[in-house]
Structure 1
């Protein structure tokens, strides 16, 4: 090819001009000129003639995504089958305002619509006590757009019945702005299972002032580009308990309605809808049967005790940290929210500090621990070399503090004679703890360092620090031994037998778990699984050791052997178990209050469950708190088996 082209070029260097080709080329250039001229003219026309109109259309029309509340995921009990919180679909009537109905004749049209809708509601659902009348419907239509943008659909009525739904679907052409949309309302187990731990939901509107989490969400709304993450003011959000703690997990994604709006902020054209997505579900560690047993046991005791009005219990598995029961009584019905009725009981008293009434004349939900601290006092004494396991102490019924000879007595001024550390736990000797622990710790380290050393041990056992629980609003404790209104001797002496710090029932349960497993501080948690909308497990919560303390095994055994206080409510109990009663005192004279406290774990040699019970103003722990613990252990044994074999299943097999 190359050779032929080269040869041809050499033979014909100046070919003659083709007149036909030249004419065609001229025609091509002329056509291009005409087309180019037309384009120039069209661009000029668009810019100078149609430009203002197109600019107005560009600036006056916009597409808005109106969020639709997501479907909140359920919260199950430990079986994964019993829903403690769940969402129920309901049909709601919304009205889209395509015109400005705030004045003149349009306002009259809106009033006619309100009268019409009120008549329909009255016709098909006359017995509804919350039936909106025409005036209420006008308020909900928000004609002045004070509560929502002009393009936002107005909620007129929720939870339509089947007749109302059928009517508006059939008469759709007569109500061009009306829409029947599916929404969800939150419901809770009617038996009222661990309601303070599960929590509750409220409208997002107003929560920004009460929660840093929702404040940040509200501030991010203006720049949030993902419509699935946008919140509506009417959307229900978690306010307490697991509902709040796992808000982002449970919420799901918002749906949205896309619609064009004009310069007046009113909708134009048809609306396109993207449905919301269901949130993930939680499988809690709370077992409904064990939880109800705890709640009923506390309620029974409160009926029997003359002064007590509240009671708290936490049952925690020793190896896993699973909280199988968390009872704060009295509780409330989250399906019938009335703040005035529940304002003194809606808080979770097992982990929060609050008075049961507004006068503070009653005992708080956190109390002094009393004698249940004595196993730890003995551990500290043994670890610090303040005494040995076999060393005896002569307990004459009291200890003497200071140069003035102040006597601090045992309960009932009990005379115990010569006792060892183990016997001091069993007999609950205040005198032993003061003379052998409090005073000797002071002598070894001095006032300031002695108190710091005590505080260090307390925190190692989860007393005075966060337990790490997956719930909001945890109270860390009130450490009175760190306040310098009394001498170091007095503070350490009284701290040694449980009269210088207040802790929550949850902290007490974590401490009991450490006594049971010999030093591992397990993180308590109330959720063990997170599942997607199809029921697939997306996350398992694994046991977590927060910290571990090292004591000689002989020290642990000595303490465990001392935890044998006699409690009649455990007569006939099938397992050997470790326990300690406590009766903490607050106030003096006529204002003196005695709080019942009890801790236990079972079985003693292979512990499965640790239980802590606090009954403010319940009197002796052996009388007020121990019976509650017994019923919790029995319920756990029935469902899970304290020896690994559920008693209920075993009984069924024997039958």
Structure 2
């Protein structure tokens, strides 16, 4: 007999209702959560998520400014920006970078230096930044890539402006160059203002005036599609281009100095005595700064770095040489000012000098001696014995203090990077640097510009300006004016000081003697006498190595790189000076026969206003 199941309708009804209530609660809570989330997204964070949404469609792109140009005093362009193509890879969009580079090399030549530069830049950049694998592509190379571009996702050709130095070696040590921004520089610059900018001034004028030359970055708001292609420009804030610089530099003089040095290494500095403007600043040999703009190859850099001629070394502001006899007019002026000697007071020169109680002989360049010498003759004929005695009488302390007022032993303050200060020795310096006392013999050789005494060519030229101006010391300047955004031109400020308590008669006596160095029958630079204007100057010779007491210096038997340096300083015209020049010819031998003619060619080009080539 079948069993009958008796249903409990009340229980089942209550059980069913409980389920409905639980489900309703769950649904209600879910709806509340959704509503809360919608409130969070649509109300509280509406602006944030709207921005994120827009970022999928709208992008902000930096617009790097165009770098300012650099001109010489006649308007000759020295640094410009030329259009160029580069082949760039964006790592984020490129699945296999090594395979991509290998495939690219089958279309466009890519050498090992290109690969090394790419790897180095990749470490410095973000994954979504484009990195050049090849630069300065030719039109043919651009065309070859264009027909194969579909094979290379994340690889594009970019057209951009590259810095160019048309005069290459002639301006390398003045302008310097720009190069790619490195890690250290990234930490120092304003990252926002350099967005999109890849290059920065590395040295020279390019570095000193980086802020003026760089300009200000602009912004461009663009609409893009899902693939990142720009559809239209929504908003545009143009960049502010860099300011143009106008230098005091006169490329006629620069070229004349380079040509006059011929095959010699050396430096020439020419300064306008009225303004302190640097008219010429030559360091030879030089180099092509264009090699550094996009990164120099390892082989080319090694060649420059290891060359015995040191083309990367800026001799004009970093080369430190004994001034030799070029310092004698300054020391003569010190003697007159300190009252230890009169202009007509004589000293006998037998060809050597001995300190009382010492056997050591300090030789004169003229073995037979000059006989009786007053200051004028001692400057004209460059008598060493006269200056040995004058230096001993002055003493190193007064000698040091007086020469300091002309800028010896300190940087001139020129608006270039890397200038060195030279060395003006003193008791205190030797005690600190060498932990030794100062010896009387060291005072003697300081008196003829030898020993520890070191100067730079620019320092010598700046001191000559002070002499020509009868005590007005002017800070040398490269930049004459700057083009401002409003179209006006701002002139740089001249900074000068006046040497005090120098008897005007003493200036004229020393300058009179310097004029006779060129115009006198026995002057050491008489071969450069001009019929058109008066020149005041002083020759000098600086030893590269010390000749022992019992030996003689024979130029013909000495290795070329060990021969004496030839020096010359001058200013002209004597009555109303306009230009001061300092020349150093490495291993040139004699200042009168080698360095002085170079200075004469530079002064002729400036003062006689020869036709521009």
- The question of a shared fold, defined as TM-score above 0.5 by the shorter chain, is answered with yes
Partner in structure 1 of residue 593 of structure 2: 623
2: CA distance between counterparts of 1:294 and 1:200? 21
User: Alpha-carbon deviation of 1:175?
Assistant: 9.0
Out of 303, 311, 323, the position equivalent to 1:341 is: 303
Partner in structure 1 of residue 394 of structure 2: 441
User: Alpha-carbon deviation of 1:198?
Assistant: 1.1
Partner in structure 2 of residue 27 of structure 1: none
Tell me, yes or no, if structure 1 residue 89 matches structure 2 residue 44. no
| CA contact 1:141–1:156 (8 Å) conserved in 2 | no
Partner in structure 1 of residue 325 of structure 2: 371
Partner in structure 2 of residue 48 of structure 1: 37
Out of 508, 527, 531, the position equivalent to 2:460 is: 508
| CA contact 2:67–2:214 (8 Å) conserved in 1 | yes
Partner in structure 2 of residue 148 of structure 1: 125
- Report the CA distance shift for 1:381/1:42 in structure 2 as closer, same or farther (over 3 A): farther
Out of 405, 421, 432, the position equivalent to 2:386 is: 432
Tell me, yes or no, if structure 1 residue 479 matches structure 2 residue 424. yes
2: CA distance between counterparts of 1:118 and 1:387? 77
1: CA distance between counterparts of 2:71 and 2:112? 35
1: CA distance between counterparts of 2:485 and 2:228? 33
Partner in structure 2 of residue 492 of structure 1: 443
1: CA distance between counterparts of 2:439 and 2:112? 67
Partner in structure 1 of residue 398 of structure 2: 453
Q: Describe the SS at the equivalent of 1:189.
A: coil
Partner in structure 2 of residue 606 of structure 1: 576
| CA contact 2:94–2:155 (8 Å) conserved in 1 | no
- Report the CA distance shift for 1:206/1:174 in structure 2 as closer, same or farther (over 3 A): closer
Partner in structure 2 of residue 33 of structure 1: none
Out of 230, 240, 261, the position equivalent to 2:194 is: 230
Alignment of 1:613-652 (within 5 A): 613-637=583-607, 641=608, 646-648=609-611
| CA contact 1:398–1:431 (8 Å) conserved in 2 | yes
Count matched residues: 537
User: Alpha-carbon deviation of 1:549?
Assistant: 3.7
1: CA distance between counterparts of 2:54 and 2:387? 76
Tell me, yes or no, if structure 1 residue 245 matches structure 2 residue 208. yes
Partner in structure 2 of residue 447 of structure 1: none
Alignment of 1:556-575 (within 5 A): 556-563=507-514, 564-565=516-517, 566=523, 567-575=525-533
User: Alpha-carbon deviation of 1:285?
Assistant: 1.2
Out of 263, 271, 284, the position equivalent to 1:316 is: 271
Q: Describe the SS at the equivalent of 1:294.
A: helix
- Report the CA distance shift for 1:43/1:631 in structure 2 as closer, same or farther (over 3 A): farther
TM score, norm. by length of structure 1 = 0.72
Alignment of 1:356-435 (within 5 A): 365-435=319-389
Deviation per CA, 1:527-564: give whole Å up to 9, x if none: 10111468x34321233214434411110111011112
Out of 519, 522, 527, the position equivalent to 2:479 is: 527
- Report the CA distance shift for 1:573/1:292 in structure 2 as closer, same or farther (over 3 A): farther
Partner in structure 2 of residue 283 of structure 1: 246
| CA contact 2:94–2:154 (8 Å) conserved in 1 | no
Q: Describe the SS at the equivalent of 2:587.
A: coil
User: Alpha-carbon deviation of 1:467?
Assistant: 0.6
1: CA distance between counterparts of 2:237 and 2:87? 18
Out of 156, 159, 164, the position equivalent to 1:187 is: 164
User: Alpha-carbon deviation of 1:299?
Assistant: 2.2
- Report the CA distance shift for 1:160/1:585 in structure 2 as closer, same or farther (over 3 A): closer
- Report the CA distance shift for 1:154/1:467 in structure 2 as closer, same or farther (over 3 A): closer
1: CA distance between counterparts of 2:99 and 2:510? 80
Deviation per CA, 1:552-590: give whole Å up to 9, x if none: 111011101111223254155522211111112242248
- Report the CA distance shift for 1:584/1:150 in structure 2 as closer, same or farther (over 3 A): closer
Partner in structure 2 of residue 28 of structure 1: none
- Report the CA distance shift for 1:459/1:140 in structure 2 as closer, same or farther (over 3 A): closer
1: CA distance between counterparts of 2:287 and 2:142? 33
1: CA distance between counterparts of 2:232 and 2:32? 34
Tell me, yes or no, if structure 1 residue 518 matches structure 2 residue 466. no
| CA contact 2:335–2:341 (8 Å) conserved in 1 | yes
| CA contact 2:110–2:134 (8 Å) conserved in 1 | no
Deviation per CA, 1:434-453: give whole Å up to 9, x if none: 22x222223xxxxxxxx333
Tell me, yes or no, if structure 1 residue 298 matches structure 2 residue 261. yes
Deviation per CA, 1:87-107: give whole Å up to 9, x if none: 11234455667x7654xxxx5
1: CA distance between counterparts of 2:348 and 2:216? 69
2: CA distance between counterparts of 1:438 and 1:112? 73
Bigger drift between 508-517 and 86-95 goes to 86-95
Q: Describe the SS at the equivalent of 1:248.
A: helix
Bigger drift between 547-556 and 511-520 goes to 547-556
2: CA distance between counterparts of 1:572 and 1:388? 30
Partner in structure 2 of residue 20 of structure 1: none
1: CA distance between counterparts of 2:217 and 2:364? 62
User: Alpha-carbon deviation of 1:179?
Assistant: 6.1
- Report the CA distance shift for 1:167/1:499 in structure 2 as closer, same or farther (over 3 A): closer
Tell me, yes or no, if structure 1 residue 350 matches structure 2 residue 305. no
User: Alpha-carbon deviation of 1:369?
Assistant: 1.0
- Report the CA distance shift for 1:434/1:328 in structure 2 as closer, same or farther (over 3 A): same
User: Alpha-carbon deviation of 1:458?
Assistant: 1.5
Tell me, yes or no, if structure 1 residue 216 matches structure 2 residue 210. no
2: CA distance between counterparts of 1:111 and 1:561? 73
Bigger drift between 515-524 and 178-187 goes to 178-187
Alignment of 1:245-264 (within 5 A): 245-256=208-219
- Report the CA distance shift for 1:407/1:177 in structure 2 as closer, same or farther (over 3 A): closer
| CA contact 1:438–1:493 (8 Å) conserved in 2 | yes
Partner in structure 2 of residue 204 of structure 1: 181
**Aligned Cα RMSD in Å?**
4.0
Bigger drift between 47-56 and 376-385 goes to 47-56
| CA contact 2:170–2:286 (8 Å) conserved in 1 | no
1: CA distance between counterparts of 2:416 and 2:458? 11
Out of 523, 526, 534, the position equivalent to 1:576 is: 534
Structure 2 unaligned blocks of 5 or more: 1-29, 293-299, 518-522, 549-557
Bigger drift between 56-65 and 417-426 goes to 56-65
User: Alpha-carbon deviation of 1:631?
Assistant: 1.2
| CA contact 1:66–1:152 (8 Å) conserved in 2 | no
